[in-house]
Amino acid sequence: MNYKSRITLDIIFKVVFKATGYLVLALLGGIFAMLVYNSISFFLDVKPLDFITGMEWAPTAKTPKYGMLPLILSTTLVTFGAMIIAIPIGVGTASYIAIYAKPRVKNILKPTIEMLAAIPSVVIGFLGIVVLSPGIADLADLPNGLNALNGAILLAVMALPTIITVAEDAIHAVPNAYKEASYGVGATRWQTLRKVIIPAAAPGIITAIMLGVGRAIGETMTVLMATGNAALMPTGMFDSVKTMTATIAIEMGEVPYQTTHYYALYAIATVLFFMTLFANIVGEFFINRFRKYHAV
């Protein structure tokens, strides 16, 4: 290939890659603009404070109620429960694969865990209904096991492949010089892992956790099938709950077009968008703090 052809090819690919980058930004901007536009149409009928702090979600009642506080608390409860389960198991498994596992075990274990991410969410939800729900009902002496605990366990299972894979990559990327220096002063594997490797890999581990949070908070089908879908104020993990994503999925297909109820679902999506954005900003803040700490 001559010089002129190489230059032309470089220019073409530069334009193509630049266009794809701007296309992604345009798509995200379009989605955000659509959410905000429809949310404003809703807030012309219902005050934002009444919407956020309202205790009752009953849009099809004779006197409609558009309080989404039960939905926010339900989403937070299920996501928090899922992370309580997934973070220690995920980081522990990643540490075992990266530090303790023999190469043969690692070559089997890691691809197997990654394959869990390919299981459709409807299958996970089905297992929650037919396997997990009866077990929870028997243990807690409940009429059924479709509650926040069921949803949290299933979301933890779904978040684990992401957390384990990203965290293991972060731990594996810690320079060997760190480990050798620790072993050189007589530290054990556990001491090296706890005091050297995990702090050094903290930005990557936090990224893994935030991706897991995003996976849990945005999941729809599993929580729709496994949490009971009761739009009530939750008082504990054994209560049936209705998350924000499940509310949108259930009601969007049946709601009359361009009604207050229709716009209310966009307002819920906007709140969900900002909740996810806030979680990512908090995660990014701590990642930068750890990077500055290690840079010093």
Provide the mean pLDDT of the chain.
Answer: 90
What pLDDT, on a 0 to 100 scale, did the predictor assign at position 203? 85
User: For 267-270, which contacts have Cβ atoms below 8 Å and span 24 or more sequence positions?
Assistant: 267/38, 267/39, 267/42, 267/43, 267/51, 267/68, 268/68, 268/71, 268/244, 269/35, 269/244, 270/35, 270/36, 270/39
What pLDDT, on a 0 to 100 scale, did the predictor assign at position 114? 85
Q: How confident is the model at residue 110 (pLDDT cuts 50, 70, 90)?
A: confident
Q: Residue 92 pLDDT > 90, yes or no?
A: yes
Q: How confident is the model at residue 17 (pLDDT cuts 50, 70, 90)?
A: very high
Q: Residue 296 pLDDT > 80, yes or no?
A: no
Least confident of 14-18, 87-91, 116-120: 116-120
Q: Residue 249 pLDDT > 80, yes or no?
A: yes
Q: How confident is the model at residue 77 (pLDDT cuts 50, 70, 90)?
A: very high
The CA-based angle 243-245-248, given to 5 degrees, is: 110
Q: Residue 288 pLDDT > 80, yes or no?
A: no
Q: Residue 61 pLDDT > 80, yes or no?
A: yes
**In this structure, which amino acid lies at residue 98?**
A
Q: Residue 181 pLDDT > 70, yes or no?
A: yes
With b for 16 or more beta-carbon neighbours within 10 A and e for fewer, the 40-50 pattern comes to ebbbeebeeee
Q: How far apart are CA 276 and CA 219, in angstroms?
A: 12
Mean pLDDT of 133-159: 91
Q: How confident is the model at residue 294 (pLDDT cuts 50, 70, 90)?
A: low
Mean pLDDT of 172-192: 89
Mean pLDDT of 146-175: 92
Which residues lie across from 228 on neighbouring strands? 241
Mean pLDDT of 91-111: 91
